[in-house]
């Protein structure tokens, strides 16, 4: 059989050199693919009782006859045995034998390895996608378009209440045509992702209106979406942030801090209320380093053997270099009166009224205290946290009179779940 394979390959190579990839060339190529299939799987037709080594030997003979690779290299590549047809197809494609690649593709697809072995199945429709492929372009495009449509109708339902009662049926209809799983937990994930996109859309103007809040709460209640499902991408935390800003700036309400939820590591004053805790905050402060730089001028004169005199002068000056250095990391808290920081080696609080200026950064907030020897300080945190911290401080400082909550007043969680008044 080795001689037969080598002869067929040589004939096909000659046909390819003559640029005849159809007709007789295609039939010979399909015959090669059929023989490869026999060598790989059909032991009762030429390989019975000889094991996978015979199949590897036939494939190696076929490949080396074309000059694609040295026999020793092919022996190492084919040591695994079971996927020799893939290597053969890749070698034929790389060498330019388009007819052989199509023939192997067509001939072997009719054999016992078609399901999951010979051909890559499309992850969407489940049909054959061809060698080294996991999806059809049309299926992938339909899937992406379907996800975009689902996100749009979810955003419309969550923000504006559009067809919120028929939303699940609409999602299933679009998902069936776009290969989107909408069964069981997958439907919950799809609806939760849509709610998160709606929160991001509401944040575009940095303001959560009462109407948007009412619609978002109705959406998650309608589909029984809890905080765990909604916060997989941090969207529920963002929603809580926006509710706090809405309560402070629009209603003048300071939520009561629930110590059962999180106990602050600070000794708060009785005349203030904790609003938010930030974890993993880096504290940077300006550090000044001084060094003395100078030089000397003069000429050395020899006065005796081994004795020199060097009249001259030395002149220098002190040079100061300032830089922002990471000093500590810890927890930052914002209250109605102070910024608190608790690190492993440094703890302090800064009264909001004693801050002269704020320097917002993309990933942090810089402050300058109102003292004679003040230096720049920076709290480095996440981008959303930095935006939120600055807006909370601004909302508190703009309140004409801060009314501290009493026992029985709503917490932030109760404000988030409640109907806006």
Dump pLDDT digits (tens) for 356-408.
Answer: 999 999 999 999 999 988 899 999 999 999 999 999 999 999 998 899 999 88
CB pairs under 8 A, 24+ apart, for 399-408? Answer: 399/248, 399/252, 402/254, 402/336, 403/252, 403/254, 404/254, 404/271, 404/272, 404/273, 404/336, 405/253, 405/254, 405/255, 405/256, 405/273, 406/256, 407/256
- Average pLDDT of the residues in 86-95: 46
pLDDT at 77: 39
45 pLDDT band, cuts 50/70/90, is: very low
298 pLDDT band, cuts 50/70/90, is: low
Of these ranges, 46-50, 197-201, 308-312, the one predicted with the greatest mean pLDDT is 197-201
Average pLDDT value for the chain: 76
Of 3.40.630.10, 3.50.50.60, 2.60.40.1150, 2.30.29.30, the CATH number of 274-295+321-404 is 2.30.29.30
Phi, psi of 29, deg, nearest 5: -60, -40
Lowest mean pLDDT across 78-87, 163-172, 343-352: 78-87
Residues 205-224 have pLDDT tens digits of: 888 888 899 999 999 999 99
Euclidean distance between CA atoms 56 and 75, whole angstroms: 8
Q: Who wins on pLDDT, 297 or 9?
A: 297
Lowest mean pLDDT across 90-104, 235-249, 341-355: 90-104
Q: What one-character-per-residue DSSP string does 369-391 give? A: ESSTT---EEEE--HHHHHHHHH
Structure tokens at 102: 């199509």
Phi, psi of 76, deg, nearest 5: -70, -40
pLDDT at 115: 37
Placement of tokens 């439907």 in the chain: 187
Does residue 306 register a pLDDT over 60?
Answer: yes
CB 285 within 8 A of CB 327: yes
For 220, the 3-state DSSP assignment is helix
Residue 266's CB is within 10 A of a number of other CB atoms, namely 18
pLDDT at 318: 75
- Average pLDDT of the residues in 58-84: 43
Euclidean distance between CA atoms 131 and 240, whole angstroms: 49
CB 196 within 8 A of CB 230: yes
Domain ranges across the chain: 2-130, 139-249, 274-295+321-404
Does residue 71 register a pLDDT over 60?
Answer: no
Interaxial angle between packed helices 52-65 and 2-17, expressed in degrees from 0 to 180 and rounded to the nearest 10 = 30
For 65, the 3-state DSSP assignment is helix
pLDDT at 85: 45
Euclidean distance between CA atoms 121 and 171, whole angstroms: 25
- Average pLDDT of the residues in 261-289: 92
pLDDT at 297: 64
- The model scores a pTM over 0.75: no
CB 171 within 8 A of CB 190: yes
pLDDT at 165: 79
- Average pLDDT of the residues in 18-40: 44
CB 314 within 8 A of CB 295: yes
Q: Who wins on pLDDT, 71 or 196?
A: 196
Residues 133-161 have pLDDT tens digits of: 788 899 999 999 999 999 999 999 999 88
- Average pLDDT of the residues in 222-227: 91
- Average pLDDT of the residues in 171-187: 90
Residues 94-135 have pLDDT tens digits of: 444 444 444 444 444 444 333 344 456 788 888 887 766 788
Residue 257's CB is within 10 A of a number of other CB atoms, namely 21
pLDDT at 96: 43
Euclidean distance between CA atoms 256 and 254, whole angstroms: 7
Residue 306's CB is within 10 A of a number of other CB atoms, namely 6
pLDDT at 72: 44
């Amino acid at each position: 059989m080795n001689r037969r394979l080598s002869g067929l390959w040589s004939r096909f190579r000659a046909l390819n050199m003559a640029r005849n990839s159809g007709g007789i060339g295609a039939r010979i190529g399909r015959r090669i693919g059929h023989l490869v299939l026999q060598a790989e799987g059909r032991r009762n037709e030429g390989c019975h009782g000889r094991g996978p080594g015979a199949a590897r030997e036939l494939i190696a003979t076929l490949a080396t006859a074309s000059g694609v690779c040295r026999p020793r290299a092919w022996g190492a590549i084919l040591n695994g045995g079971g996927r020799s047809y893939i290597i053969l197809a890749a070698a034929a494609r790389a060498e330019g034998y388009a007819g052989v690649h199509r023939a192997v593709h067509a001939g072997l697809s009719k054999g016992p390895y078609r399901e999951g072995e010979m051909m890559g199945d499309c992850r969407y429709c489940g049909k054959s996608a061809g060698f080294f492929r996991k999806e059809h372009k049309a299926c992938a495009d339909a899937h992406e378009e379907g996800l975009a449509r689902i996100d749009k109708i979810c955003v419309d339902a969550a923000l504006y209440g559009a067809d919120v009662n028929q939303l699940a049926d609409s999602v299933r209809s679009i998902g069936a045509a776009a290969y989107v799983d909408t069964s069981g937990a997958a439907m919950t994930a799809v609806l939760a992702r849509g709610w998160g996109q709606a929160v991001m859309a509401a944040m575009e103007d940095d303001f959560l209106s009462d109407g948007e809040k009412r619609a978002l709460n109705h959406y998650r209640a309608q589909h029984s979406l809890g905080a765990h499902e909604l916060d997989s991408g941090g969207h529920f935390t963002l929603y809580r942030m926006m509710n706090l800003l809405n309560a402070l700036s629009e209603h003048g309400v300071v939520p009561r801090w629930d110590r059962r939820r999180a106990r602050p590591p600070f000794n708060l004053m009785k005349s203030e209320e904790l609003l938010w805790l930030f974890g993993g905050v880096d504290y940077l402060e300006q550090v000044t380093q001084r060094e003395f730089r100078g030089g000397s001028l003069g000429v050395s004169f020899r006065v005796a053997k081994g004795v020199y005199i060097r009249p001259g002068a030395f002149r220098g000056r002190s040079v100061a270099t300032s830089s922002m250095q990471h000093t500590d990391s810890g927890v930052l808290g914002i209250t109605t009166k102070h910024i608190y920081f608790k690190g492993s080696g440094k703890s302090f609080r800064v009264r909001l009224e004693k801050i002269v200026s704020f320097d917002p950064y993309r990933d942090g907030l810089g402050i300058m205290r109102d003292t004679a020897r003040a230096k720049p300080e920076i709290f480095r945190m996440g981008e959303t946290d930095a935006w939120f911290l600055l807006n909370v401080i601004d909302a508190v400082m703009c309140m004409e009179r801060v009314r501290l909550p009493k026992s029985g007043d709503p917490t932030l969680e109760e404000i988030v779940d409640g109907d806006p008044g």
